[in-house]
Structure 1
Amino acid sequence: MKKSNIIMLIAALFPLALFIFPLWNITLEAPQYPIPLGMNIYINDFVDANPFDIKNINLMNHYVGMKYIPEAIPEFKIFPAGIIISSLIGLLIAFKGNYKWFLGWFILMVVLSAAGIYDFYIWEHDYGHDLDPKAIMKFTNPDGTVMGFQPPLFGTKHILNFTAHSYPRLGAFFLGLGIATSLLAYYVGLKVHKKTLKV
């Protein structure tokens, strides 16, 4: 097996780490919580960072009219299938394809990842802005509009007396590593191809 194909084989396996490690983490810090509340987002589940964190977040958010964090969302079925299929395609390309196909897989994974990030943003926006008008507590912006409680997509954001942090976890890094490695496989294969043409 060519060196570029071996690299592509490794690249196709990296995304499968999403079934082991969390993809993202959201943490909420506030004076009334000595231990910050948080949740890890896996490719197929929401998981407490500490025992009962999601329950406490739901109870707290209920007062301002936010929806409960569900036990499952449609993406928890779509994303795992997408990762398995894309990894299988990557493995097939590694065994049967050439460097041009490696670039195709790289582009596919970039597009799928961008779509996943956009979907996550839409979910966060709905979660933070689609509030129950009958909520116990209501907050408004200086201009009189209803205040939203959307956590940041990436980074840190202050929401009332909370500081929300949103950052990728190990699963996201493995996914990014797989995508980057496929690009490396393409360049290694391209370099060999150019040398062959000169001979």
Structure 2
Amino acid sequence: MTNKLSKFGMWLMIAAAVLTVISAFIPLWRIDLQAPQYPEGLVLLIGGTSGISGDIIPINDLNHYVGMEKIFPENFWEFQALPYILCGFALLFLVSALIRSKKLTYGSFGLFVIFGILSFVDFYYWTYNYGHNLDPSAPIQVPGMAYQPPILGYKKLLNFEAFSWPDTGGYLLVGAGVLVALVVFYELGVFDKLFKKKTKTA
């Protein structure tokens, strides 16, 4: 078994690098808020060169009434660091492809998985603190009410409907991860083994 990445794997890694570098400069995630008083809705965008962006001013105005902390983009260093981290992964994928190294490909895939897990843990931690650490002197207080937005999917928050899902960059990043995973499985011979088993069974 050769330690050199196949041409198929090489091209997929290059494609993954392209998707990853594009995702570094556009929003990865979005939280949409809908309510009767905001017929056009409000949106909070996470990722991209701004780190965190969208309708921050009206969202901060709403936060004031229920005692939630205001959002200041400069306070979210992890979101501001995302473009650099993703560009680093893109470079890692590209180098893996150009030198056709299986070991570097496997290593970059492992790091990418760890990065994804840690990112969601950090996102959950932020949303939890954001929705639970409320100002006791807020104008509007609902006993037992917390305002943690959903990590993924839908949640009702008073008269607001909150939707959390990937933005364009998030889909591109997932696509990059799928491509790298395909390369790893292909180079490890997983698909060949599955195909042989099916052939024997038939």
**Common fold by TM > 0.5:** yes
| 2:15 alignment partner in structure 1 | 10
1:47 to 48, 53, 69: 53
Please say if residues 154 and 164 of structure 2, whose CA atoms lie closer than 8 Å, have aligned partners that are also in contact: yes
Deviates more, 1:131-140 or 1:91-100: 91-100
Query: 1:156 offset after TM fit, Å?
Result: 0.4
Aligned to 1:62, what secondary structure does the other structure show?
helix
- List runs of 5+ in structure 2 lacking aligned partners: 1-5, 193-202
- Counting aligned pairs with the same residue, the percent is 36
Moved over 6 A (4+): none
C-alpha change, 1:78 and 1:42, in structure 2 (3 Å) is: closer
1:62 to 49, 61, 64: 64
2:28 to 23, 39, 59: 23
1:167 to 158, 165, 168: 165
1:134 to 134, 137, 140: 137
Give the Cα–Cα distance (whole angstroms) in 2 for the partners of residues 153 and 4 of structure 1. 33
Give the Cα–Cα distance (whole angstroms) in 1 for the partners of residues 79 and 17 of structure 2. 21
Give the Cα–Cα distance (whole angstroms) in 1 for the partners of residues 110 and 58 of structure 2. 40
Please say if residues 25 and 48 of structure 2, whose CA atoms lie closer than 8 Å, have aligned partners that are also in contact: no
The answer to whether residue 81 in structure 2 is matched with residue 83 in structure 1 is no
Give the Cα–Cα distance (whole angstroms) in 2 for the partners of residues 190 and 76 of structure 1. 34
C-alpha change, 1:89 and 1:3, in structure 2 (3 Å) is: same
Deviations 1:11-43 (A, max 9, x none): 122111223331111111112222211122224
| 1:119 alignment partner in structure 2 | 122
| 2:183 alignment partner in structure 1 | 185
TM-score, normalised via structure 1 length = 0.84
Aligned to 2:27, what secondary structure does the other structure show?
coil
- List runs of 5+ in structure 1 lacking aligned partners: 142-146, 195-199
Give the Cα–Cα distance (whole angstroms) in 2 for the partners of residues 170 and 22 of structure 1. 7
Query: 1:46 offset after TM fit, Å?
Result: 2.2
Please say if residues 100 and 186 of structure 1, whose CA atoms lie closer than 8 Å, have aligned partners that are also in contact: no
Instruction: State the aligned residue count.
Output: 184
Q: Quick one: which amino acid aligns to residue 172 of structure 2? A: F
Query: 1:100 offset after TM fit, Å?
Result: 4.1
Q: Quick one: which amino acid aligns to residue 89 of structure 1? A: L
The answer to whether residue 104 in structure 2 is matched with residue 96 in structure 1 is no
